[in-house]
Amino acid sequence: MPVPTATPKPAAPFLPMTRPTIDDETIAGVCEVLRSGWITSGPKVKEFEAKLSAYFGGRPVRAFNSGTCTMEIALRIAGIGPGHEVITTPMSWVATSNVILEVGARPVFVDIDPVTRNIDLSRIEAAITPATRAIMPVDLAGLPVDRDQLYTIAKKHNLRVIEDAAQSFGTTWAGKRIGSFGDFVSFSFHPNKNVTTIEGGCLVLNNEAEAKLAEQYRLQGVVRSGMDGMEVEIVGGKFNLTDVAARVGLGQIAQVDAFTTRRRELARLYFEKFSTLAARSTSLLLPVADFEQSNWHMFQVVLPEEKLAVKRAEIMTQLNAAGIGTGVHYPAIHLFALYRRLGWKAGDFPHAEYFGRNTLTLPLFPTMADSDVTRVVETLVAILQQHLRS
């Protein structure tokens, strides 16, 4: 007789680092747009911009096809170009500093605060020179930069602020939504963001004059008048959002508060599980536990490289083999080849370099189950304990 064998347990489904949440109503709405025949920029973009403006307290908002061009356009509206400097952080997606180069200016990096992982505001004034024209901070993982201190510095030195708020839609500061106050505020709607339009972004501006200029930069510098009037006064680009994307965005805005609430619940659970499983024995560094202001765009831990016998890539490989996706956000910008050619080198910004080597982004998105958090924490802790130096 054949020996009976145990039925193998099915492997747990792969858990990605992030996954957009798009409901059936939004999908049906996209189909309506496709059937309408008007699929590029049109009425849905106007409606989306109106909703965004209302969300940000009535400020002018213009939508674009990325959260990168929004920063470039803000720099151009601010008159920043060759010979100018913009202070920013080396701990961000490289787009933050690339747009500064794109307008002909030079990024001036300031190291990060090792607690918040955002730009260290206490170091900014030492980096200001006669060529400095703006500060471009980043709310890493949705944790807000101290807006009071930031704008005090900017006002003192007569600097513009272009907030790279790509990751902070739904984040607040002192009870006010990021984007509802301040100078230029740029958001990304990439699929890995808390609110998505598939690809896209928006720029919150100060007045209608800036908004009109943003529209010119958005589409080849064109200004239309009457039935057939057309003029081009500046060099613009091709940065317009489609109605298809805007319809996705409309569905997202309706759910953003629920998304943020669920993300905060999952973040709290991460802290609870790491504490319960005595993860401190692995010397993991957890993020700031801000459950009032942060939108928890990402949950990032920092690996203790000095105590591990393997590099981050091996930890990620083993998590992937266990069905858990992770990410790297971000390598220190100044160590990319492009920036090394411009004069930066290892050792310039030690905090950013350490975090760039060791930060690990764990899964976090609204449709995750509580049990997914438990699985991630248990698996990560077990892997780390295997690789701790004796």
Per-residue tokens: 266: 């999952």
Mutual angle of helices 24-36 and 243-253, in 10-degree steps: 160
Report which of 129, 58, 68 is spatially closest to residue 94, judged by C-alpha positions.
68
Whether 4 and 313 have beta carbons less than 8 Å apart is answered as no
Q: Where are the alpha helices (DSSP H) in the chain?
A: 24-36, 43-55, 69-77, 95-102, 124-127, 147-156, 208-218, 243-253, 256-276, 312-321, 337-341, 350-358, 370-387
Report which of 305, 281, 260, 249 is spatially closest to residue 22, judged by C-alpha positions.
249
Mutual angle of helices 370-387 and 312-321, in 10-degree steps: 130
Three-class SS state of 294: coil
Main-chain phi, psi angles of 256, to 5 degrees:
-60, -40
Q: Determine the Cα–Cα distance for residues 167 and 329; give it in Å rounded to an integer.
A: 11
Per-residue tokens: 173: 């500061």
Q: Determine the Cα–Cα distance for residues 41 and 200; give it in Å rounded to an integer.
A: 12
Whether 376 and 363 have beta carbons less than 8 Å apart is answered as yes
Please confirm whether the linkage preceding 270 is cis (ω < 30° from 0): no
Residues labelled as active-site residues? 193
Q: Determine the Cα–Cα distance for residues 10 and 259; give it in Å rounded to an integer.
A: 30
- Identify the burial level of 98 via C-beta atoms within 10 angstroms of its C-beta, where 0-12 means exposed, 13-18 middle and 19 or more buried: middle
Residue type, 107: P
Max CA distance (Å), the chain? 89
Whether 114 and 355 have beta carbons less than 8 Å apart is answered as yes
Q: How far apart are the first and last CA of the chain?
A: 49
Q: Residue 184 carries which DSSP code?
A: E
